[in-house]
Structure 1
Amino acid sequence: MFKEVRSFEYITIAEAREIMEEIAKKRQEKADLVFETRRALRHLRAFSKLKAENAKKLVQELLKLP
């Protein structure tokens, strides 16, 4: 069940939450979520307070600081 990494980029927790929400939605249509997916999604929901758009803007502003 190994998959090839095609690209790598850093993302915020908010972006990860949105990606996992989409994955969970697709997987729930087929079957229940596996333990690891449920656990990761629960963690992301608990610690992600910003929307992905706002998190991206914040990161860009922080990168501009000296």
Structure 2
Amino acid sequence: MTVTLHETLGDSVVLHGTVANERIRIRTSERPNVTAGDSIRVVVDPTRLHLFDTDGEIVAHAADKVAQTA
């Protein structure tokens, strides 16, 4: 991911960036030492993943998938 913006929001950080020309945002409680322009490796825990469309509507929610497999 190429970081385009680093936002500190209280107890979390939102990293804005791009992967394969697609926009992505990551919220984390970690305090990564990155700035705009940095390239970082992203590892996703699929049980905590939430996907949204371009209008901000949720497309997939990790809890839905967990409920389906239980």
TM-score bracket, shorter-length normalisation: under 0.3
- Higher helix proportion: 1
TM-score, normalisation: structure 1: 0.22
Highest CA radius of gyration, 1 or 2? 1
Higher relative contact order (CA 8 A, sep 6+): 1
